[in-house]
Amino acid sequence: MKRSLYQKVRPYCKINLGLHVVGRRPDGYHDIETIFVPVRTLKDTLIIHESDTPRMIQDGIALDNAPEDNLCMKAWHLLHDEFGVPPVTIRLKKEIPFGAGLGGGSSDAAFTLQLLNARYLKLPRPMLHERAARLGADCAFFLYDRAAYATGIGDQLKKCPGLDFKGYRIVIGIPKGEHISTKEAYAGLNQDLFGTQRPNLLEAIRQPIEEWRHLIVNDFEASVFPSHPAIAALKEDMYRSGALYASMTGSGAAVYGIFPK
């Protein structure tokens, strides 16, 4: 007898090492350059099982969207509409804060795609990558379980050799009540930066972590910090607490510090 789908996984978050906004595209998106790093100390819980009708149940951190608008449900719709994947119930317990630049929603969607694909379709990785990119710019990153150098809108990924955090710990914090929309972060960008020469990220990460403070920059800090001083203060608190490198991740509001163990 064929077993029905019942799977539980723990989608993890990511941080950005550097984030350069290279320019605005004709389609309204922006080209970026960054390094995505998986962080497995902060995870959601995702359970999927077969059901008579598609359903989304959200627990944990309250989200600001209706369950049917969740990216997990959009991932199911994408595969259902194209390949006829049957109805499922998706239960998501949120522990990764949203609007924080941690990619939690994209991770949840990517894990949903992987579970449904493994059970019903067996699509090759390039096909799954293309569909993940339709759901979110950084969604495809979570298909690979490794650090990646990202360009385009964040969907063009290359292996990132030489990046090793053994002997270090990554601490993530978010000032209470802070939430940054992507629209707000992009609105304040200094467009004079577009097209200018930046430090090479792949060369910068080969330097000692203590040197990254002078080499690796997130462009969104300049647009976010003036109106959200608590986020800027948290970054400085990380350094005062002994971080070798600290930065806002994505378009905020989360800040991370890399500390020696």
138 part of the active site: yes
Residue 1 located in a structural domain: no
* Same domain, residue pair 152 and 37: yes
Return d(Cα 174, Cα 254) in angstroms, integer. 5
Residue that terminates a domain, selected from 112, 143, 158: 158
> Does 17 fall in a domain?
yes
Q: Assess whether 126 and 105 both reside in one domain.
A: yes
Orientation of helix 104-116 relative to helix 125-135, angle to 10° = 140
Which of these three, 112, 138, 158, is where a domain ends?
A: 158
For the chain, what is the domain count?
Answer: 2
DSSP three-state, residue 12? strand
Catalytic residue among 44, 108, 138, 155: 138
Residue 180: domain span: 164-260
**Candidates 14, 108, 155, 219; catalytic one:** 14
Say what the pLDDT of residue 86 is.
95
Catalytic residue list contains 14: yes
Same domain, 89 and 174: no
CATH number at residue 199: 3.30.70.890
pTM confidence score: 0.94
Claim to verify: residue 81 and residue 192 sit in the same structural domain: no
C-alpha dihedral (238, 242, 246, 249), degrees to nearest 10: -60
Successive 10-residue mean pLDDT values, the chain, 261 residues: 73 97 85 96 96 95 88 97 96 94 97 96 96 95 96 94 90 91 80 75 94 95 93 98 98 96 92
Dihedral pair phi/psi, residue 32, rounded to 5°: -130, 170
**Does any domain span residue 58?**
yes
Q: What is the pLDDT of residue 252?
A: 87
Supply the pLDDT for residue 2.
Answer: 43
Q: What is the pLDDT of residue 4?
A: 67
